[in-house]
């Protein structure tokens, strides 16, 4: 199979197969490079956690490669290092995720290690305690980090009584409470082939990639694999909330200001994303960066971002400032948000952002890893494998009226969540 002339993939050149146990394999060849990238996820995220064991999914995913029933922690990493390959896991609210890279000839080794880590982790006692110490150190550092703590409180208030409002890395007391038995139990109940997706791109025929996955994971069955709970509805905020988290002795204060935004599948997403580009991304961090950082010199950094996933996203502005300038910076951000809601974007701002989105897409798909990420996102959000064939039309189809409409729909300046952390 020759490599297609364009890096844009389509339904014709992405091979999709579902194994008999429920694993979906997406594969695309690229013989321009001797390497192969893989990535994927399975529905074993923090949504299954109880409040007294927050951080459990993260703890489990971080343990998967610290020893299996057939290999020690050292043996796993020695094999990867000898092949110059990589493999790793992390977790989120909905999923445990994995990714790796190797020369095409070493793909069977990486898939074997992936399979062992997913199917038969041993959770060695000494490694459990070693990792617990590392996680607790990370949480101690988080408690002293003004940016991390502003984020934590922002999500807590924005997503009150909702899985998205709970920190996926937990709290010191919840990490202390997690036992080895909890890790084994979480793995037994939530890790399985149903709902698992794996994407492979590189110097391999797509059907051979499917065969390679089937060889190591095709026999994996878990009869009692739990279904993920339905994401509860999010209660809209009736009024604004402002919270300051004091961290004595800091020379910087960090702030996060924002609202609930659209999910990735919401038809409002592209207009919100292009609007956000003008608001706080394009060039030197858009209008927010220009007003708060460049013109007023009030911030070390200032930008806006749109986080959109399976459920309700967030549309937020973040900045790091001298503590004396905190209120001034918040005033400027609020004024800029009001202006954005009232007037939307200029013709030039929208055209620049649209050109940027269309121009950077091929660059994001140049590497095998970029292609894997894109294929997984398209599958996860059910956008259709022809999404990138339609992408330019979707981007160019957004008008200034669309942007101002989504700004008014989501950004209610009288109902902002404002979280700050610092002295």
Domains of the chain (ranges; CATH) run: 15-217 (3.30.830.10), 241-422 (3.30.830.10)
- pLDDT at position 4 over 70: no
Q: What is the CA radius of gyration of the chain?
A: 23
Instruction: Quote the pLDDT of residue 236.
Output: 87
Q: Which DSSP helix (H) or strand (E) runs through 358? A: helix 347-364
- pLDDT at position 62 over 90: yes
Instruction: Quote the pLDDT of residue 296.
Output: 78
What pLDDT, in 10s, does the model give residues 301-344?
999 999 999 999 999 999 999 999 999 999 999 999 999 999 99
Q: What percent of the chain lies above the pLDDT cut of 90?
A: 89
- pLDDT at position 248 over 90: yes
- pLDDT at position 1 over 70: no
What pLDDT, in 10s, does the model give residues 175-223?
999 999 999 999 999 999 999 999 999 999 999 999 999 999 999 999 8
- pLDDT at position 137 over 70: yes
In the block, residue with structure tokens 């007294």: 52
Mean pLDDT of the region 146-175: 97
Instruction: Quote the pLDDT of residue 280.
Output: 87
State the angle between helix axes of 180-190 and 125-143 in degrees (0 to 180), rounded to the nearest 10.
90
- Side by side, the strands of the sheet bearing 313-321 are 241-246, 417-422, 253-261, 313-321, 299-307
- pLDDT at position 285 over 80: no
Category of 89 on φ-ψ map: left (φ > 0), alpha (ψ -120 to 50) or beta: beta
What pTM was computed for the model? 0.93
Is there a contact between 37 and 371 (Cβ–Cβ < 8 Å)? yes
Q: Looking at the DSSP assignment, which residues form a beta bridge with residue 258?
A: 316, 417
- Integer CA distances (angstroms), 96 to 39, 153, 383, in order: 11, 24, 21
Number of Cβ within 10 Å of residue 19's Cβ equals: 18
Is there a contact between 92 and 168 (Cβ–Cβ < 8 Å)? yes
Nearest to 365 by CA among 373, 357, 354: 373
Mean pLDDT of the region 223-243: 92
pLDDT confidence band for 300 (50 / 70 / 90):
confident
What pLDDT, in 10s, does the model give residues 63-99?
999 999 999 999 999 999 999 999 999 999 999 999 9
Angle at CA 354, nearest 5°, toward 264 and 389? 65
Instruction: Quote the pLDDT of residue 279.
Output: 95
Instruction: Quote the pLDDT of residue 203.
Output: 96
pLDDT confidence band for 7 (50 / 70 / 90):
low
Mean pLDDT, all residues of the chain? 94
- Give the separation between CA 361 and CA 390, rounded to whole angstroms: 12
What pLDDT, in 10s, does the model give residues 352-411?
999 999 999 998 899 999 999 999 999 999 999 999 999 999 999 999 999 999 999 999
- Give the separation between CA 174 and CA 27, rounded to whole angstroms: 39
pLDDT confidence band for 3 (50 / 70 / 90):
very low
Is there a contact between 187 and 15 (Cβ–Cβ < 8 Å)? no
């Amino acid at each position: 199979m020759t490599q297609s002339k364009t890096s844009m993939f389509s339904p014709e050149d992405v091979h999709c197969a579902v194994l008999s146990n429920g694993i979906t394999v997406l594969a695309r060849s690229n013989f321009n490079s001797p390497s192969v990238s893989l990535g994927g996820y399975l529905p074993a995220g923090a949504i299954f956690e109880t409040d007294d064991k927050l951080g459990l999914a993260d703890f489990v995913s971080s343990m998967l490669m610290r020893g299996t029933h057939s290999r020690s922690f050292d043996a796993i990493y020695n094999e990867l290092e000898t092949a110059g390959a990589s493999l790793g896991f992390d977790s989120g609210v909905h999923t445990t995720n994995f990714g790796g890279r190797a020369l095409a000839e070493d793909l069977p080794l990486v898939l074997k290690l992936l399979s062992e880590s997913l199917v038969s982790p041993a959770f060695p006692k000494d490694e459990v305690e070693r990792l617990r110490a590392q996680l607790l150190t990370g949480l101690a550092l988080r408690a002293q980090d003004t940016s991390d703590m502003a984020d934590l409180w922002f999500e807590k208030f924005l997503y009150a009584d909702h899985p998205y409002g709970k920190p996926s890395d937990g709290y010191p007391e919840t990490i202390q409470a997690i036992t080895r038995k909890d890790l084994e139990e979480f793995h037994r109940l939530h890790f399985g082939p149903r709902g698992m997706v794996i994407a492979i791109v590189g110097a391999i025929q797509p059907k051979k990639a499917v065969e390679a996955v089937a060889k190591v994971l095709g026999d994996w069955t878990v009869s009692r694999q739990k279904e993920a709970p339905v994401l509860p509805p999010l209660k809209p905020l009736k009024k604004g909330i402002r919270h300051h988290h004091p961290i004595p002795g800091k020379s910087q204060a960090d702030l996060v200001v924002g609202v609930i935004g659209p999910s990735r599948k919401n038809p409002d997403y592209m207009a919100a994303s292009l609007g956000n580009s003008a608001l706080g991304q394009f060039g030197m961090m858009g209008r927010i960066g220009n007003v708060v950082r460049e013109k007023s010199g009030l911030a070390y950094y200032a930008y806006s971002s749109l986080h959109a996933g399976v459920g309700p996203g967030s549309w937020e502005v973040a900045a790091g400032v001298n503590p004396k300038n905190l209120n001034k910076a918040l005033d400027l951000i609020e004024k800029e948000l009001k202006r954005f809601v009232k007037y939307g974007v200029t013709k030039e701002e929208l055209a620049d952002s649209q050109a940027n989105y269309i121009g950077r897409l091929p660059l994001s798909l140049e590497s095998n890893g970029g292609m894997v990420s894109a294929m997984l996102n398209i599958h996860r959000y059910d956008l259709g494998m022809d999404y990138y064939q339609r992408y330019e039309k979707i981007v160019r189809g957004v008008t200034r009226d669309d942007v101002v409409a989504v700004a008014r729909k989501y950004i209610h300046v009288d109902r902002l969540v404002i979280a700050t952390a610092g002295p």
